[in-house]
Structure 1
């Protein structure tokens, strides 16, 4: 059984895109970062656990897209959607323990993320994968057996992000470099260049917010941990627990899931940040 699980993990890792861990110079310090990798995700992180757990308020600065990431050729709207998804996921995760305040207000922690590398999704390959997936679902419904058709292992996107949390005196209390590529099983094929980066942006936001909420390694968190009622509600598109998280718009919820199943671009189901 253990061998089977290990083999499945190895096959999954082999069938995913590679995105590099970066050291772009965006963070105030890279000292003391420790490596912690999962099956699909690579990270290096550091956290000063005691002062982070003592913190009660947080603000989120805008996500910065590096010149290297911009060389992937996405549109301004596509970069904005990826950036917004990072901060939406961070805000939702951080609100489990923190009060989220305006960037103009004093806060125990200030959090900022930097997209340092982005590999676009190949739209043609994703379109073929979506058609095959829909066909598999129809066939499964006919024979009464669920069928999940893997994506084509070509043209998969990837995302690399660096982030830190600093005090009002600019003392860095937590930092992370993070990288992950889309894979053929868990990342839905969607016909848009930003699709995989969009999906991975939410994964990053969940990982870094977990580090700040618990002070623990997100790669080693329990796989079967139950989500809170608030997080389930936000996923389904309800109002966020913290009012300021509404700045990043509502999670597309069920419409986003259905859009992913049929391969719609993320922008078809995600309205992005709230326009003021």
Structure 2
């Protein structure tokens, strides 16, 4: 009886996992390709996970002994006219805000004009635009189905966007201590539809930050091992709270609960995210 029950349970799990994996695999294809912004591409090795493509290079000793870090504002090498400047600025600032918060778990984050053991700089190399019409249709379908069914409805598998970034951490001697080339496409399950051409790129920014920051905080390949529980300071900041270090104030406050609600409704991120703080 026990063996028969276990076999039935295994069959049920397999039946559930199969469709889920198929849905996760239905994502935007964002090629992994090296850009021109890193000081070196030597020694990069393939890495990544089920959803993410990546190549990394890491010198663990100097990364683990580093205590301070500064963040050079993220730049974007995207063809002119492809996206509105304000939308690109929102994506790059979101990357910086997330990096600042995540790196605060171990490092003292200082302003870019102050000396630091590591200087971090990221560059957006590609954004696959989100189809706003498809995103709107997905949102309407999801909200309508949620009223009738107590389970989330997968996003429509069309018009999915994506993001590609490369970043490095440079030491006081000017040499590269860590680098990552990263790309990821939105998928039907974990990336909510937002009616904005940069909606998916905006949502995926935090995934890049988590991977790159983990590499520096832990001094090892971030795609190996079990996921970690977010620290209290990261949770506080994600809810719109004050960042741990003053240097992070330059990137503004996270939209918090209003932003989360707007995301569930499929609204453009610019409606709740005010972007970088005004220069003083």
- Please tell me the TM-score bracket, short chain as reference: over 0.9
Matching residue of 1:183: 187
Q: Which runs of 5+ in 1 are unaligned?
A: 141-145
Equivalent residue runs for 1:1-276 within 5 Å:
1=10, 3=14, 7-8=18-19, 10-66=21-77, 69-70=78-79, 73-140=82-149, 146-223=150-227, 225-276=228-279
Are 2:69 and 2:117, in contact at CA under 8 Å, matched by a contact in 1?
A: yes
Aligned residues: 268
Q: Which secondary structure does the structure 1 equivalent of 2:193 belong to?
A: coil
- Taking the aligned partners of 2:80 and 2:20, their CA distance within structure 1 comes to 32
Q: 1:96 to 1:4 in 2, by over 3 A?
A: farther
Cα distance in structure 2, aligned partners of 1:164 and 1:4 = 42
2:223 is paired with a residue of what secondary structure? helix
Point out where structure 2 has 5 or more consecutive residues left out of the alignment.
Answer: 1-9
Taking structure 2 as the reference length, what is the TM-score of the superposition? Answer: 0.91
- Structure 2 CA distance, aligned partners of 1:262 and 1:152? 15
Query: How far off is 1:128 after superposition?
Result: 0.3
* Distance (Å, rounded) in 2 between the aligned partners of 1:6 and 1:139: 24
Partner of 2:3: none
Task: State whether residues 118 and 158 of structure 1, in contact with CA within 8 Å, keep that contact through their aligned partners in structure 2.
Answer: yes
Encode CA deviations 1:62-119: one digit per residue, 9 max, x unaligned.
11111xx235711000000000011111000100111111111111000000111111
How far off its partner does 1:59 sit? 0.6
Residue aligning to 2:5? none
Q: Does the C-alpha gap of structure 1 residues 5 and 148 become closer, same or farther in structure 2, counting only changes over 3 Å?
A: closer
- Return the index of the structure with the highest Cα Rg: 2
Secondary structure of 1:218's counterpart equals coil
2-structure distance, mates of 1:197, 1:19: 11
Deviates more, 1:12-21 or 1:193-202: 12-21
Deviations 1:13-47 (A, max 9, x none): 43100111121121111111111121111111011
Residues 222 and 82 of structure 1: is their aligned pair in 2 closer, same or farther, counting only changes over 3 Å? same
How far apart, in 1, do the equivalents of 2:40 and 2:274 lie?
A: 35
Deviations 1:204-245 (CA, angstroms, capped at 9, x unpaired)? 11110111111122222413x221111111111110111111
- Are the equivalent residues in 1 in contact too, given 2:24–2:189 (CA < 8 A)? no
CA RMSD across the alignment: 1.6
SS at match of 1:207: helix
Alpha-carbon contact 1:95-1:241 (below 8 Å) kept: yes
Q: What's the offset of the Cα at 1:5?
A: 7.4
Q: State the secondary structure of the residue aligned to 1:61.
A: strand
